[in-house]
Amino acid sequence: MALDPAVRSAFEQVLEPRDVISDPVGCRAYECDGLTGYRVTPELVLLPRDAAQVAAAVAVCAEHRVPFVARGAGTGLSGGALPVAEGVVISLARLKRVLEVDPVNRRAVVEPGVTNLEITAAASPHGLYYAPDPSSQQVCTIGGNVAENSGGAHCLKYGFTTNHVYSAEVVLPDGSVVTLGTDTGEQAGPDLRGVFLGSEGTLGITTKITVKLLRTPETVRTLLADFPSVRAAGDVVSDIVSAGIVPAAVEMMDTLAIEAAEEAVHAGYTVGVPAALVVELDGPVEECDSQFEQVKAICEKHGCTRLHIAGSPEERAAIWRGRKAAFAAVGRISPDYFVQDGVVPRTRLAEVLDRIAELGRDAGIRVANVFHAGDGNLHPLVLYSAALGETERAEKLSGEIAELCVEFGGSLSGEHGIGTDKACSMPKMFTEDDLAVMQRVRDAFDGHNICNPGKVLPTPRLCGERPGKYEPHPLEESGVIERL
Amino acid sequence: MTTPAGSAESKLPQTAPSSFDDHHPPERELLDDCVHCGFCLPTCPTYQLWGEEMDSPRGRIYLMDLASKGEITLEGSFQEHMDACLGCMACVTACPSGVQYDKLLESVRPQIERNVERDRSDQLFRDAIFALFPYKRRLRAAALPGALYQKLRTVPAIRKLAEKLPGRLAAMESLLPPVSVREAFARLPVFTPAVGSRRGRVALLSGCVQDVFFHRVNEATVRVLAAEGYDVLVPRDQQCCGALELHAGREAPALERAKREIGVFETLDVDSIVTNVAGCGSSMKEYGHLFADDPAWADRAAAFSARVRDVHEVLADGEPRAERHPVRGRVAYHDACHLGHAQKVRAQPRAVLRSIPDLELVDLPETELCCGSAGIYNMIAPEAAGELGARKAANVRSVNPDVIVTANPGCLLQIGKHLGADIPLLHPVQLLDASIRGVAVPRT
Amino acid sequence: MSELASSPDSAVSTPTKMRPGDLDELRAAILDTSGPVGISGAGTAADWAGPLGAVETVLDTTALTGVITHNPGDMTVSVRAGTPLRALVEELSSHGQHVSLDAARIADGATVGGLLATGDAGPSALVYGTLRDLVIGTTLVLADGTIAHNGGHVIKNVAGFDLAKLMHGSYGTLAVVAEVVLRLHPVPKATATLALDCPLDEAPDHAARVLGGPFEPVALEWVDGTLLVRIEGTEAALDARAARVAEALDTDERHFRRTGSDDGAARQGWGAHDAAVRGAPGSAVLRIGALPSRLPALIGSLPGVTAVTAGLGTGVATVSLDPAGVAEAHALVHAAGGTSVVRSRPAGSDVPAWGPPPSAVAVLRSVKNVFDPQGRFGPGRFDPWM
């Protein structure tokens, strides 16, 4: 069923007609985000130029009950920006102005299409920066970061997007415009900003975001250390934490990930070692120096085979280039791969990694590991070749790894989001009631279920039969909530 | 269908025969290299301008994939988005997965030229462009006032354009820079010996546009190379290297020109074939790939490409030899896309400039972003090119340079057009030449 | 479960008090009742926000106590919501860990759930944020008895909606918080506070030098005539850092006070802050938040102010003022783009708890409606908004 032509002309009235893309080839370019396994071609793609146009477009959607999906740079890895059939994509790519940098109050006001790194670029003349740093920071947009509550290597010390957003101007699914959050940490009433952050585009579209800026740390010390085993590297992480040190970042890579990253960017990692750890400390110079000595001693205690300390900003950049490129670089050592994003309690890292290796051996599939060791966020990369018919085995292994993380008391996703991809696994982590209450929140924002429908929460259409027996909820019976 | 988390099949299915013909379609492995991460978006000029996915490298590769899976045709939308690409290759630099967008585009453009009938006025305009630019003699004529309308009307493609679309002919003419008749007709010496002991022997590509409109750059290049200890040969019978046609997908004439150039240079006893034009260098380094499956030419082309070097690569090779005189001032270096992105030559021009005492070298903001020149792009897509030119000019002004230097004639023309005349625009070898000779820095 | 005060005859005037001892009892208590319910913890903030309307039942959470799991290596703890934070911190101290929250009323025995529901925080919110930034999971019981978990036991987690945030500042109107999972921080090895006497209008310049420098203060507060700056770190580094802060404040050394490295002594410098938060006798206490650069002038414009503590980096202040001036104060704060709520009022006074509603008040009402469609929990707390 195609979209009513009257709806299209309604969009053309609130936007410039040329900003309403109906060309089927153009629309196909929007059919997937960074997770290409799911593809749906939207009916139209809307390219508003300002917040008022976004609100007007959403109002048209609300009036005609047209489902819509907001999209930033389309870098998400969980299919959160997957379009909806018979729906429209609202691209925020043109809302990319940095509206204000306020050095006195250490904050910036930006439009959603501004990239994460552009905020830091705008703030840096004032000695300030925006702390959350997802690996895709040069391309991912702040609007997407808000939707996904993005993390990054440095969230161990500094927290996630939710800890760095004061307020957001939001177009609600009925087309009304509200501000969630305030100028300070003090809120009047329940923290609606907090629940909006990380809601993966299902509660509305941000059109203006006020973010916190931090002062650029006085000192940054970065080291790259090689270890004879993943377990030894894991022990280093535990010892650093027990010593009461909160590093800015602790990242681990295993042999395969090191090999891929080195091949891609030649950052000076040692090819062939079982594990490498990147540890970064930042802060006042006295503090950094004293803690850095402790970290070095801990590395040595656990048999580190090489300790490379970045001696210049360029060397530090090289270490990070290797780490941040590792993901995409895996494409160089394997024709196909799946990325996982599970989280486990840090103390169980070594155990989980052993299990993952075991599962990989059983399946005859290689698994490369790149992860945020400080907060237990694993990114196992399941390497396979579709041409050799390994897809099915790899899919199975990938799913098993995600569920393993939940079994170990962790989470399905640390930063990539649930989106389309993991919605069907949500019952592994949450009960029916847990999910029904989340659905109620969604209903409170989006009574007609038109705002990025089908994401985050499992739906029978997407997942088939849900595990567990189905019982109508009292609120469902009374018509307050609706299960889709 | 239920799939385990993080594990959906990521490749498009083949639903119909490919829309590409069998002659060098985009290679499947190269298309599959793209993991759709989007790291290319911020550096893509058209994505920066329009914010549309299908005018980004990731989007274009996706459309190529769709076409090769038989899901869409080459006519219409596909062609428009491929035409809109500047071919600046900033995406190649940005890509962490090593996607060779340059090779993909190079196979797709000829597919469009062969298989899609262009709109008549577009075709007339393109024919006229390619009837003029690769021909040194015609360019020299065009350098004379009004020549396009008089002398060059004998060229059929130009006559047709003048008759059907006089406005576009005028637009094309307006892009040609003013040049003195003397300079337009000047010729380089066939042989210039090294000054002092000889370090090596090189052959110089004099180029077509370069030699007519920027003859002074060629002269400076010969002097600098000689001063640094190189014998410089400039074969008289050389012609256009085919870069403009190659980058526009006019494969057959481009290959003919390539063969002719290989023939002219391959017999010379030189260490390298040197060019001072970024666009020419990038296409000549590609000859090996272009002829890879042509048994008659594969080896000859590979041997030729292996010897091609940008002039800065040669100059940055050893220690500077000729004495440099100080040049005081702020110099902004603009990376020509076909030098920085396509040839990865970024450090060498900077090193060459830093060898000049007192010179303060500054980088531009958004240095990876194309200035909008892009071969014939500023003629066929003047609006987009204009926006990019204005953006580049603003970035240049933001660093307050005394001089701006770049190693491509297209960039010199494009930036000059948007910057105005108050900041001199030069090729880096012109600065080095002035420094070695101890003369004033030229204004043009 | 023990019912402490139950009198069938006066169900409306004297609410039934229920004190469940575990999650199941809590759920049963909610299902056993049908009318309006007040939720109480230690009662340290009973009169904050709007006065509780007539309720049939008071759900006392103070028997829901104790740590559920604490794995020191993971730096997380799950705890029953009625646990006093002070008790939790004592229990964690042997592991060198704590909850990075320094709200004054923790010392009075405030519970974890109560601190979350009232959105309370102290000066160290400058770096550590409020409790919303430290809570990584909650277990809730809704008015219809539904038990809902969200978040989890790992700090990094984006699975599902972050309902814990909705509890922050909800004043017991959406659900009963039964269990809370918190992220922990290492107890700092050493702490120092520097103090500088100065009037409020001069304080922002001093604050700007500290905040603009590389000092990373964890708290910066102007309290009734004194600017307090707290830094924390290692023993080895702290003296040098304190000296640099002193230098940045550019004033005579005798104005500075360095407290000892143990937490109790460090707290001493902050007694004035705690007192100001509790409020001056006979005054209404207003909590306000505004853009830091606007805060000093805003405070200066409020009528009848008798005590002030103002976070010049956070933009959050607590002021005591004449109850008669509260309505005007709400209006002034609103006009400055800020938010305000009454935290306590002299007995019997009828001051408005809230100022003009935020733009998203309709969303607040929708959320209330899906959580508690019959309006059972915490009636009156958000009058007149919802």
Whether the ω angle into residue C384 lies within 30 degrees of 0, i.e. cis, is yes
List residues in chain B touching A: CB distance below 8 A: 1-12, 32-33, 35-39, 41-42, 47, 51-54, 58-59, 62-63, 66, 71-72, 76-78, 81, 95-98
CB contact under 8 A, C241 and A284: yes
Is residue B197 located within the same domain as residue B301?
Answer: yes
CATH number, residue B350: 3.40.50.1860
- Domain contains C316: yes
Is residue B105 located within the same domain as residue B126?
Answer: no
Is residue A257 located within the same domain as residue A399?
Answer: yes
- Name residues whose C-beta falls within 8 Å of residue B282's C-beta, 6 or more positions apart in sequence: B243, B338, B339, B342, B343
Is residue B133 located within the same domain as residue B212?
Answer: no
Is residue A296 located within the same domain as residue A248?
Answer: yes
Is residue B84 located within the same domain as residue B149?
Answer: no
- Domain contains B403: yes
| Residue C222's pLDDT band (cuts 50, 70, 90) | very high
Query: What's the pLDDT at A469?
Result: 38
- Domain contains B443: no
**3 state DSSP class of A168:** strand
- Domain contains A372: yes
| Distance from the A188 Cα atom to the nearest Cα atom in chain C, whole angstroms | 6
- Domain contains B15: no
CATH number, residue A229: 3.40.462.40
Give the residue from chain C lying closest to A237, CA to CA. Answer: C73
Is residue C260 located within the same domain as residue C337?
Answer: no
- Domain contains B308: yes
Which residues of chain C neighbour A238 with C-beta distances below 8 Å? 73
> Residues A193-222: what's their mean pLDDT?
97
- Domain contains C96: yes
- Domain contains A47: yes
Query: What's the pLDDT at A368?
Result: 94
**Spatial distance between the Cα atoms of C87 and A410, rounded to a whole number of angstroms:** 27
Is residue A124 located within the same domain as residue A198?
Answer: yes
CATH number, residue C308: 3.30.70.100
Q: Among A449-458, C1-10, C345-354, which stretch is predicted with the lowest mean pLDDT?
A: C1-10
Q: Among A108-122, A323-337, C40-54, which stretch is predicted with the lowest mean pLDDT?
A: A323-337
**A25, A73, A424 ranked by CB distance to B38: nearest:** A73
- Domain contains A440: yes
CB A239 within 8 A of CB A312: no
* Mean pLDDT value across chain A: 92
Is residue A370 located within the same domain as residue A233?
Answer: yes
- Domain contains B320: no
Is residue B141 located within the same domain as residue B111?
Answer: no
Query: What's the pLDDT at B113?
Result: 96
Query: What's the pLDDT at B395?
Result: 97
User: For chain B, how many structural domains are there in total?
Assistant: 4
Query: What's the pLDDT at C44?
Result: 97
How far does CA B91 lie from the centroid of its chain? Answer: 15
> Residues C203-215: what's their mean pLDDT?
95
Is residue C292 located within the same domain as residue C248?
Answer: no
- Domain contains C256: yes
- Among all chains, which residue has been given the structure tokens 């990025």? A452
Is residue B146 located within the same domain as residue B191?
Answer: no
User: For chain A, how many structural domains are there in total?
Assistant: 4
Query: What's the pLDDT at A285?
Result: 94
**C153, C167, C354 ranked by CB distance to A345: nearest:** C153
CB contact under 8 A, A441 and C166: yes
Q: Pick the residue with more confidence: B210 or C261?
A: B210
Is residue A292 located within the same domain as residue A430?
Answer: no
Is residue B372 located within the same domain as residue B343?
Answer: yes
| Residue A468's pLDDT band (cuts 50, 70, 90) | very low
- Domain contains A418: no
Distances (CA, A) of A396 to A412, B11, B114, C145: 15, 17, 45, 38
Query: What's the pLDDT at B444?
Result: 85
Is residue C217 located within the same domain as residue C124?
Answer: no
Is residue B192 located within the same domain as residue B311?
Answer: yes
**A94, A140, A340 ranked by CB distance to B51: nearest:** A94
CB contact under 8 A, A328 and B76: no
Which residues of chain C neighbour A179 with C-beta distances below 8 Å? 358-360
Residue C204 has pLDDT above 60, yes or no: yes
Locate the DSSP E strands across B141-223. Answer: 191-192, 200-204
Give the residue from chain C lying closest to A151, CA to CA. Answer: C156
A89 touches chain B (CB under 8 A): no
Which residues of chain C neighbour A413 with C-beta distances below 8 Å? 157-159
Give the residue from chain C lying closest to A145, CA to CA. Answer: C158
Written as one letter, the residue type at B274 is V
- Domain contains A445: yes
**C74, C156, C186 ranked by CB distance to A347: nearest:** C74
**A34, A45, A336 ranked by CB distance to B37: nearest:** A34
Residue ranges in chain B modelled with pLDDT below 70: 1-10
Is residue A59 located within the same domain as residue A141?
Answer: no
Is residue C103 located within the same domain as residue C161?
Answer: yes
- Domain contains B18: no
Is residue A327 located within the same domain as residue A371?
Answer: yes
- Domain contains B23: no
> Residues C115-136: what's their mean pLDDT?
97
- Domain contains C255: yes
Is residue A153 located within the same domain as residue A198?
Answer: yes
CB contact under 8 A, A183 and C147: no
Q: Which chains touch C (3 or more CB pairs under 8 A)?
A: A
| Distance from the A198 Cα atom to the nearest Cα atom in chain C, whole angstroms | 7
CATH number, residue C78: 3.30.465.10
Is residue A264 located within the same domain as residue A396?
Answer: yes
Share of chain A above pLDDT 70, in %: 95
Is residue A155 located within the same domain as residue A267?
Answer: no
**C150, C289, C363 ranked by CB distance to A444: nearest:** C363
Is residue B51 located within the same domain as residue B155?
Answer: no
A145 touches chain B (CB under 8 A): no
- Domain contains C47: no
| Residue A477's pLDDT band (cuts 50, 70, 90) | very low
CATH number, residue A137: 3.30.465.10
A164 is in which domain, residue-wise? 98-215
- Domain contains A413: no
Positive or negative, the CA dihedral A203, A206, A209, A211 is positive
Is residue B229 located within the same domain as residue B141?
Answer: no
Which residues of chain B neighbour A400 with C-beta distances below 8 Å? 4
Residue C267 has pLDDT above 70, yes or no: no
Domain stop point among B62, B88, B115: B115
B56 is in which domain, residue-wise? 28-115
User: For chain C, how many structural domains are there in total?
Assistant: 3
A382 touches chain B (CB under 8 A): yes
Beta bridge partners of A250: A279
Query: What's the pLDDT at B10?
Result: 66
CATH number, residue B267: 3.40.50
Question: Which letter, b or e, does each residue of A400-430 get, where b requires 16 or more Cβ atoms within 10 Å of its Cβ?
Answer: bbbbbbbebbbbbbbbbbbbbbbbbbbbbbb
Residue A484 has pLDDT above 70, yes or no: no
Mutate to test the interface with A, among B2, B3, B47 (most CBs of A within 10 A): B3
Give alpha helix (H) positions in C21-157: 23-32, 85-93, 112-117, 125-128, 131-134
| Distance from the A32 Cα atom to the nearest Cα atom in chain B, whole angstroms | 9
CB C55 within 8 A of CB C201: no
- Name residues whose C-beta falls within 8 Å of residue A248's C-beta, 6 or more positions apart in sequence: A154, A156, A157, A158, A217, A220, A280, A281, A282
Which residues of chain C neighbour A409 with C-beta distances below 8 Å? 152-154
CB contact under 8 A, A33 and B36: yes
A467 touches chain B (CB under 8 A): no
Residue A281 has pLDDT above 70, yes or no: yes
**A26, A396, A399 ranked by CB distance to B77: nearest:** A26
- Name residues whose C-beta falls within 8 Å of residue B265's C-beta, 6 or more positions apart in sequence: B203, B235, B238, B273, B304, B307
Which residues of chain C neighbour A437 with C-beta distances below 8 Å? 140, 142, 146, 148, 150, 163, 371
Our separate counts of H helices and E strands in chain C read 13, 18
> Residues C312-317: what's their mean pLDDT?
98
- Among all chains, which residue has been given the structure tokens 């009636």? C379
**A106, A186, A434 ranked by CB distance to C148: nearest:** A434
Is residue B231 located within the same domain as residue B288?
Answer: yes
Is residue C158 located within the same domain as residue C91?
Answer: yes
Compute how many other C-beta atoms are within 10 angstroms of the C-beta atom of residue C184. Answer: 22
Domain stop point among B259, B285, B315: B315
* Mean pLDDT value across chain C: 92
Domain stop point among B248, B282, B315: B315
Is residue C85 located within the same domain as residue C159?
Answer: yes
Is residue A275 located within the same domain as residue A358?
Answer: yes
Task: Give the model confidence (pLDDT) of B223-256 as tens digits.
Answer: 999 999 999 999 998 999 999 999 999 999 999 9
Mutate to test the interface with A, among B1, B2, B3, B7 (most CBs of A within 10 A): B7
| Residue C258's pLDDT band (cuts 50, 70, 90) | low
C340 is in which domain, residue-wise? 279-344
| Residue A472's pLDDT band (cuts 50, 70, 90) | very low
- Domain contains A483: no
Is residue C104 located within the same domain as residue C118?
Answer: yes
**B42, B53, B72 ranked by CB distance to A139: nearest:** B42
Cα angle vertex B18, ends B12, B19, to 5°? 115
CB contact under 8 A, A421 and B8: yes
- Domain contains A412: no
| Distance from the A321 Cα atom to the nearest Cα atom in chain C, whole angstroms | 23
- Complete edge-to-edge strand list for the sheet that includes strand C16-19: C2-5, C16-19, C57-60, C37-40
Which residues of chain B neighbour A94 with C-beta distances below 8 Å? 51
- Domain contains C125: yes
**Spatial distance between the Cα atoms of A273 and A253, rounded to a whole number of angstroms:** 10
Is residue A351 located within the same domain as residue A399?
Answer: yes
Query: What's the pLDDT at A483?
Result: 37
| Residue C317's pLDDT band (cuts 50, 70, 90) | very high
| Residue C265's pLDDT band (cuts 50, 70, 90) | very low
Is residue B273 located within the same domain as residue B354?
Answer: no
CB contact under 8 A, A421 and B42: no
Which residues of chain A neighbour C173 with C-beta distances below 8 Å? 190
CB contact under 8 A, A38 and B78: no
Compute how many other C-beta atoms are within 10 angstroms of the C-beta atom of residue B328. Answer: 11
Choose the most confident range, by mean pLDDT, from A241-250, A320-329, C82-91: C82-91
Cβ pairs bridging A and B (under 8 Å)? 153
**Spatial distance between the Cα atoms of A230 and A234, rounded to a whole number of angstroms:** 6
CATH number, residue B95: 1.10.1060.10
- Domain contains B2: no
Does ipTM surpass 0.85 in this model? yes
